[in-house]
């Protein structure tokens, strides 16, 4: 046998910190893998539409207006108000600009989630978003 035994001294605090960092690193890796793999599967499932143009009626004040949403099999192509009378544009000047803002965001993200709405015309945004959501639900239910 050896005359000089080797003794190793570990501080408990260092062992605990090391174990915590290893566990957190493993959890972070699993979380990143889950987020990237799971998100791609969800988006592919959510974006199937029956191609066509779908509309939803809404009332602004006392004037009926229709929102028309045109979709392809996997994407939203266009959103517009049909028909827009001069009286609607005159009485509700924020209607067209609000629709353009929503339309640009929806078409670029292809989703109704995380749409930025300004506080100056929140009622108009909510009415438009409800009508667009109704029209898109018709496109997915066929």
CA 117, 118, 122, 124 dihedral sign is negative
Q: What is the mean pLDDT of residues 113-125?
A: 81
Domain map of the chain by residue range?
52-141
- Residue 140's closest CA among 55, 57, 51? 51
Fold for the domain defined by 52-141: Sufe protein. Chain: A (3.90.1010)
The string of pLDDT tens digits covering residues 17-69 is: 999 999 999 999 999 988 888 654 444 445 688 899 999 988 877 788 899 99
- pTM score of the predicted model: 0.64
- Residue 53 has phi, psi (to 5 degrees) of -115, 125
**What is the average pLDDT score of the chain?**
84
120: left (phi over 0), alpha (psi -120 to 50) or beta: alpha
Cα separation, 21 vs 16, in Å, equals 9
d(CA 18, CA 45): 41
90: how many CB neighbours lie within 10 A of its CB?
A: 8
Is the per-residue pLDDT at 95 higher than 60? yes
């Amino acid at each position: 046998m050896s005359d000089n035994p080797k003794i190793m001294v570990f501080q408990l605090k260092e062992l605990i910190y090391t174990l915590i960092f290893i566990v957190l690193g493993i959890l972070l890796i699993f979380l990143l893998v889950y987020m990237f793999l799971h998100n791609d599967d969800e988006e592919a499932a959510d974006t199937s539409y029956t191609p066509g143009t779908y509309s939803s009626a809404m009332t602004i004040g006392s004037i009926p207006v229709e929102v028309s949403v045109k979709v392809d099999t996997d994407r939203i192509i266009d959103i517009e108000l049909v028909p827009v009378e001069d009286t609607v544009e005159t009485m509700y000047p924020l209607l067209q600009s609000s629709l353009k803002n929503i339309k640009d965001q929806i078409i670029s993200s292809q989703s109704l989630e995380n749409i930025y709405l300004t506080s100056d015309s929140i009622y108009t945004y909510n009415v438009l978003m409800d009508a667009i959501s109704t029209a898109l639900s018709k496109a997915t239910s066929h």
